[in-house]
Amino acid sequence: MTADPVRLHHDGDVAVITIDNPPVNVTSQPVRAGLMAALDAAVRAGAARIVLTGAGRAFVAGADAREFDAPPQPPHLPDVVARIEASPVPVVAAINGAALGGGLELALACAARVAAPAATLGLPEVTLGVVPGAGGTQRLPRLIGVAQAVAMIAEGRVIKADAAQALGLVDAVCDDPLAHAARMALPDRPATGARPTPAADDAALDAARARAAKRSPRQIAPQRAVDLVAASARLPLDQGLALERAAFLDLKTGDQAAALRHLFFAERAAMALGRQGGAPVERAVVVGGGTMGAGIAYALAQAGIQVATVETDAAAAERARGNLARLYADAVRRGKMTAGQAAADQAARHSLHSGYADLPPAQIAIEAVPEDLTAKQQVFAALDAALPADAILATNTSYLNPDAIAQPVRDPSRFLGLHFFSPAHVMKLVEVIRARATAPETLATALRLTARLGKIPVLAGVCDGFIGNRILTRYRQICDVMLIEGALPAQVDAAMRGWGMAMGPYEVQDLSGLDIAYANRKRLNWASQPGVRYVPIADRIVETGRLGRKTGAGWYDYDGGTATPSAMIDAIVTQASAEAGITRRAFSDEEIVARATTAMIAEGLQILDEGIATAPSDVDLVLVHGYGFPRWRGGPLHYAGRAGLTGVLARIEGYAAADPLSWQVPAILRRAVETGVGLDELTGAPG
């Protein structure tokens, strides 16, 4: 923070107050105090007008989320907002950049608003599990009406300056908002807060509630935001503001806000890894233009990188071209680009190759051929020979050992894993796998590339399945144990969905196909592996030819797109119980959820203990962004910490006593409980 986060200077009879709290002018306590002082000083100096603006790229990008965990320190933002609205000298907002959250609330209290064309405006508080706390829910509807306000607030929608002008949220859009704000004729109207209550609009409120329930199921803040906008049409301003403040303070200390805040910081820290050096990538090679390869190639091209995709022969190269064309067609359908842009982009950014003979020099190659060690080794031998000696070589393997894949590479310091998720051009998560010899510069360049792609990178070490697929395997294993002991797939799926997972574990398998995990179990020889509680159900299902939706049957039967529980699967499950001599028993949904979530937590802790993940929040990011773990629960390790590690330990001890093959107590958990030291501190994570 600079020494003086709020500056006041006079330009004739105009007092200009500039908020300068880099990087994005958040309303930390010194800013709030500085604003109070500057407003008073401007009035005392006899200014005829006050212009409020921000230094740098932002006007004010919101509250300081670091202050959320502490009791609020005066002056509070609502007091600053009230002071602006009641100012005897009119205050005009010159919105030079992002006016978000508290930033927009400051602007709403001004007599007029002028925005730069690139400015963005919104009240995104619900994305952090809270509602606006300084009048946003009461003033915005008074300015632009209930329907528009509720749509923005309940979805946390951020809009551009021209859209804001169309809504009447800003009075003018111009290149020099500061100069315009100093000179413009002030509109003849009462202050926003002094306007009459807006007309009620029950249809808009109901629609907003339904949209919020669909977009953010089980989240409290969006629904509370709708309630507050509804109140704005009913109550005088002071009562509406009191209601809003109470809701804000209540939500702020709740579980959901804590979880969403945790992920916000974790995401920010992960994305900052891409800004710590490394070399730029302008050309890339992708080997394999199938599901993953095409998605990766598309994502690279969208970031302005030239991509050469290598396939086995001309026919396969044509198929890869078709895969890419489908992704472009999809973008056109969604209105992301025109058909002309799509065709031009595909022609300009991509080249298709059968073999390695005519590859352009590239700074990185990403391999996405089928999951077969020998095939992957052959690819890397060819890449090693074809590309410049300093090109980075990356594998997208899901389960294979990157160190084995790297075996033919002469300089393995250039080698690493980049594990994208499907669909690769949509999913933000990338596990960045440090192989045995990966050099720091190689990591730095790969991280810089993920940042350029707008992805969230998570560093992981080498183990079977890395962070995500390893936890997924364990989670499925424990669910299968519940099947053999008495549960059925549809019940497990419903229980996990009910708890907040995007999908249940069995419906996910049907969607992605049962064959890859099957091949992996065979590779690891689970059936006769000592130390593994082997449940044969999944293997038997694959062996009947049911591979999921793609074969029209899997854990469920499919009639068109609709899944129905399968009598055949129930028979396979009960048969397996009988063969194992298990008397099937009933499971409650609570028991299913407790066991399944504890499996994820236990494996996440084990992964931390082994140093495969370096911070608890990395495990959380992977599960939330790659596996449908509910964002508002913060990820498995945040959830465990919030619930209390002592209870988690007791639960795992209980499970281990009954089923020692499936459960062991992770050493780090015992250490954390015995010493009372948190997981962040035990792993040296910033927390």
Question: Which chain residues interact with ligand NAI by CB under 6 A?
Answer: 287-293, 310-312, 316, 320, 368-371, 375, 379, 396-398, 420-422, 512
Find out whether 111 and 203 touch, Cβ atoms under 8 Å: no
* Shortest spacing between CB 67 and ligand NAI, in angstroms: 39
Nearer to ligand NAI, 397 or 662 (CB): 397
Scored b (16 or more CB within 10 A) or e, 215-227 reads ebeebbbbbbbbb
Cβ contacts of 666 within 8 Å, gap of 6 or more: 602, 605, 606, 608, 609, 652
Beta strands 306-311; 392-395: pairing state: unpaired
Element (H, E) at 516: helix 515-523
* Shortest spacing between CB 572 and ligand NAI, in angstroms: 25
Nearer to ligand NAI, 415 or 421 (CB): 421
Nearer to ligand NAI, 45 or 315 (CB): 315
Location of structure tokens 């880099």: 22
* Shortest spacing between CB 499 and ligand NAI, in angstroms: 24
Cβ contacts of 259 within 8 Å, gap of 6 or more: 129, 631, 632, 633, 634, 635, 638, 639, 642
Nearer to ligand NAI, 269 or 373 (CB): 373
Beta strands 158-160; 120-122: pairing state: antiparallel
Nearer to ligand NAI, 369 or 459 (CB): 369
Nearer to ligand NAI, 515 or 579 (CB): 515
Location of structure tokens 């065979």: 522
Catalytic residue among 105, 311, 367, 431: 105
* Shortest spacing between CB 394 and ligand NAI, in angstroms: 11
Query: Which residue from 211, 62, 32 is spatially nearest to 122, judged by alpha carbons?
Result: 62
* β strands within 31-181, DSSP E: 49-54, 58-60, 91-95, 98-100, 112-115, 120-122, 158-160, 172-173
Nearer to ligand NAI, 91 or 369 (CB): 369
* Shortest spacing between CB 73 and ligand NAI, in angstroms: 46
**In this chain, which residue has its C-beta nearest to ligand NAI?**
290
Q: Is 105 a catalytic residue?
A: yes
Q: CB-hemisphere CA count at 13 Å for 219? A: 33
Catalytic residue among 85, 125, 155, 244: 125
Token duo for residue 647: 């209870």
> How many whole angstroms from its chain centre is CA 658?
37
Residue 528 CA: distances (Å) to CA of 485, 519, 658:
20, 15, 21
* Shortest spacing between CB 72 and ligand NAI, in angstroms: 44
Q: Is 441 a catalytic residue?
A: no
* Shortest spacing between CB 422 and ligand NAI, in angstroms: 3
Cβ contacts of 408 within 8 Å, gap of 6 or more: 377, 378, 380, 381, 384
Beta strands 91-95; 49-54: pairing state: parallel
* Shortest spacing between CB 312 and ligand NAI, in angstroms: 5
Nearer to ligand NAI, 42 or 352 (CB): 352
* β strands within 251-402, DSSP E: 283-287, 306-311, 350-354, 364-367, 392-395
Nearer to ligand NAI, 115 or 624 (CB): 624
Secondary structure, 3-state, 538-586: HHHHHHCCCCEHHHCECCEEEECCEEEECHHHHHHHHHHHHHCCCCCCC
What is the rounded CA–CA span in Å between residue 148 and residue 155?
11
* Shortest spacing between CB 368 and ligand NAI, in angstroms: 4
By annotation, the residues acting in catalysis are 105, 125
